[in-house]
Structure 1
């Protein structure tokens, strides 16, 4: 009998166990497979992302894309309709449930419920699912290809296959401040953030992305009265998501055209070619030429841009944002067709601008941000280039390019998830990296076979898999549940195939 371990019980780990159970039952594998879920928290299904007790922490994706089942994206929206719908206090919607943005905690309840139901189905079908409440800190590969997982409860688990789903690892940047009581190294869980900041402190937030915005929401929702200053190299806020997008259908930047280009020109898609096709699509839809340089938001005053985005979002979005959103199902395929060289060029040249357009702020939160900025409580500063702690003044000093020097009472590292393996503050990841069980990808995350999600490394063997943020270099949209459940379906099919055929037809 094969034993499959899932390390991590957040959304990705839960989705993986659910899909594996479904496929195992369908394949009548009760005598051939068993599972163990390793999660250090008492409750599985939540993780850091969906365990926040702040009801104003809302999802960054609308409900009809958040189904935990790979081929049922609307399942969460259907569940929501059966559990109070858009009239709940933890649902933000100006339209219907399909387009609603719910609290993260409500989504966590949904995932936990679906996990429990599927574990019960496994038991009814005589498929064993074991739960271990501990943290995995190392894996040892034996000569017989078995894997031994070392756990913080002083026990081990010997398994045949391991799926790494550790969730969002916090970054290990600014290590020099780790023991400073005025520094919060990660905004999650929010209890740490709130316990270490005073209501009247001037709080500095490193980052202007969605994680940083959640940090601001946490502070003001709990009565913060002091100033909040967000710092980042470019000072760019994400754009704003409409509750209901006007939609967009690409005519030029399509999979068919890119495949034709590859077939006729004999090379993979290049970053410049992608951008040119993007321009053609937008300008065709707009019926005019566009001054693209004028759309660069780097180091510009963000309030008028935010107010413009809110106005546009209330009307269903503009062509640029709607096109980026409409491409969500194709971007990973396009990314996989590009060479590493072109991926690096795209990341350096267009990556930041793509990110703020593709991963936008829900309209509800955007309006709150604009209000805070207009009232003067929140400001956004670009070009931060030096951060140090002044012992004599007991505060942080942040030096910026254009706006001078800022003195901050408390500093929060909300720069987002660590991209590269060596920057991930996770003991298991670091131990696997040292043993060459994981191979770093040049852009970020670990190297995998994108068709099966199997980790590829010199010493790791063929029985370790990874999903979510751990594969952020090779795949795009790994911070989106809908994308991760699709990759998980492929992974589960691979494991079931290996179990039923032992790798042979």
Structure 2
């Protein structure tokens, strides 16, 4: 029996899914499986997050800890040593160790190689991986739900037994207001941004997370001389990562929580966190214990905040080690959290949590502080309003007044509202009723199987979604280890379905 599977997106989710699917498939199976990957960009493997771009874009995870393969910890670091001849001519001054925060484009090279490796590995198990370089703009399930038809931007139709949507991080739609050649709805690619923003432009960057930092560093390191202002709606900024290694949680673990709770509140989580921090410092008695305040207070002086953070980042930071290990349980915790606390967290605590959870390397903190201290960069907290005038000039209104600007860059991550995203496919799926928006963002899926939920909450037998488009269901889906975990679970679902379909035929 031949089976056909389409994957929409050729980035991390796609690689992790195919690798897991291959691992579950028997090498002596007589069945031919055809996997077709649809990728709209020129590169396979890097996806939106790790595309070839400015070398100033750094990973926020150490080289020794990051991998796209579930059962190969440290695969990236191993690749760096094995393939030094490939990347060193491009990064001649880069010193690599397990503790290096490598440039993201370099990780993109690793991802491209990883894609090549899984294609070869798949072939050995009678799985053919084909690539079509085109954007998928429509999906339609057959009336009997036995197959799905994909339509691409080139107006070609393809039919498959199953489809996995793995299209990665979404950008703000370029057709979202305000519309102007001087308004950039995503900072990526940074290299393109540096070529389109005039060197002496007065630039406003809306957002203050990782993508905003990439934009600031990328612009200035590529010769930007004009003023840049970071606008942080939450009055916050990412914390700086310490020197600590990995830690395995006891209280904030799936086993402990599942055995003791049927539901969770934010108060429960705070209690578990405090227990975990206390246990951490009992087992690490020589480390200083920080006084953690959540939510953190608004930042009034970003340079002073970064100075304090960089001093603390010279040592192990136990609370960060605890937080990073919760990646393994975020989906479980989010599912068990009572609805009123979910709503409270999304509306009032999400930005604060992300500023603490998604930290930055000390190298980037040093750069941002230097730009602040020399006066080229300014930081303003509070709500903003973008103004466009009849003469096509722009200005930004904030609690500190209204300032005329030459260029505006949105660096706010994936839009929670599908209709504000740049994905024609997702908008069409919602309009047709094939998918329904999740109240907390993205589209809704069955959290056990990753199967799509329709407008009428019917579970699709043939369309699945993983990655950033499911963030409403799982809360946080952008960390690579979380992407890999969800991709593996989804591969298990689809492979099990395939086995059930084949078994009766083998018995006959």
- TM-score under structure 1 normalisation? 0.89
- SS of 1:399's partner is strand
1:422 aligned partner: 419
1:162 aligned partner: 163
- Give, in whole Å, the separation in 1 of the partners of 2:280 and 2:110: 39
- Give, in whole Å, the separation in 1 of the partners of 2:354 and 2:469: 18
1:268 matched to 2:266: no
Deviation at 1:332, TM superposition (A): 2.8
Instruction: Give the one of 452, 455, 462 matched to 1:455.
Output: 452
Deviation at 1:251, TM superposition (A): 6.1
Kindly tell me: are residues 141 and 370 of structure 1, through their superposed partners in 2, closer, same or farther at Cα, counting changes over 3 Å? same
| Worse-matched range after superposition: 107-116 or 292-301 | 292-301
2:496 aligned partner: 497
- Give, in whole Å, the separation in 2 of the partners of 1:27 and 1:456: 33
Deviation at 1:144, TM superposition (A): 3.3
2:285 aligned partner: none
| Worse-matched range after superposition: 39-48 or 128-137 | 39-48
- SS of 1:19's partner is helix
Preserved CA contact (<8 Å) 2:240 2:362: yes
Deviation at 1:64, TM superposition (A): 3.2
- Give, in whole Å, the separation in 2 of the partners of 1:474 and 1:170: 19
Deviation at 1:426, TM superposition (A): 0.5
- SS of 1:37's partner is strand
- Deviation per CA, 1:360-382: give whole Å up to 9, x if none: 11221111111111111111101
Deviation at 1:411, TM superposition (A): 0.5
RMSD between aligned residues: 2.8
- SS of 2:34's partner is strand
Equivalent pairs counted in the alignment come to 493
Question: 1:426-437 residue pairs with structure 2 within 5 A?
Answer: 426-437=423-434
Structure 1: which 5+ residue stretches go unaligned? Answer: none
1:68 aligned partner: 68
Preserved CA contact (<8 Å) 2:295 2:352: no
1:21 aligned partner: 22
- Deviation per CA, 1:255-286: give whole Å up to 9, x if none: 45534542xxxx51101221233245446767
Deviation at 1:422, TM superposition (A): 2.8
- Give, in whole Å, the separation in 1 of the partners of 2:252 and 2:479: 22
- Give, in whole Å, the separation in 2 of the partners of 1:109 and 1:365: 22
Deviation at 1:198, TM superposition (A): 0.8
Preserved CA contact (<8 Å) 2:247 2:325: yes
- Give, in whole Å, the separation in 1 of the partners of 2:22 and 2:293: 51
Preserved CA contact (<8 Å) 1:73 1:482: no
1:361 matched to 2:356: no
Preserved CA contact (<8 Å) 1:212 1:416: no
Question: 1:165-184 residue pairs with structure 2 within 5 A?
Answer: 165-172=166-173, 175-178=176-179, 180-184=180-184
Preserved CA contact (<8 Å) 1:15 1:485: yes
- SS of 1:314's partner is coil
1:410 matched to 2:407: yes
Preserved CA contact (<8 Å) 2:54 2:191: no
1:296 matched to 2:291: no
- Give, in whole Å, the separation in 2 of the partners of 1:255 and 1:124: 36
- SS of 1:277's partner is helix
Preserved CA contact (<8 Å) 1:18 1:115: no
Kindly tell me: are residues 248 and 11 of structure 1, through their superposed partners in 2, closer, same or farther at Cα, counting changes over 3 Å? closer
Question: 1:200-349 residue pairs with structure 2 within 5 A?
Answer: 200-242=200-242, 244-245=243-244, 252-259=251-258, 261-262=260-261, 267-282=262-277, 296-317=296-317, 319-349=318-348
- SS of 1:275's partner is helix
Deviation at 1:5, TM superposition (A): 0.2
Deviation at 1:39, TM superposition (A): 0.9
Deviation at 1:131, TM superposition (A): 1.5
- Give, in whole Å, the separation in 2 of the partners of 1:219 and 1:187: 10
1:139 aligned partner: 139
Question: 1:477-496 residue pairs with structure 2 within 5 A?
Answer: 477-496=476-495
Preserved CA contact (<8 Å) 1:387 1:396: yes
- Give, in whole Å, the separation in 2 of the partners of 1:444 and 1:476: 9
| Worse-matched range after superposition: 320-329 or 293-302 | 293-302
Instruction: Give the one of 398, 419, 427 matched to 1:400.
Output: 398
- Give, in whole Å, the separation in 2 of the partners of 1:42 and 1:173: 20
Preserved CA contact (<8 Å) 1:52 1:190: no
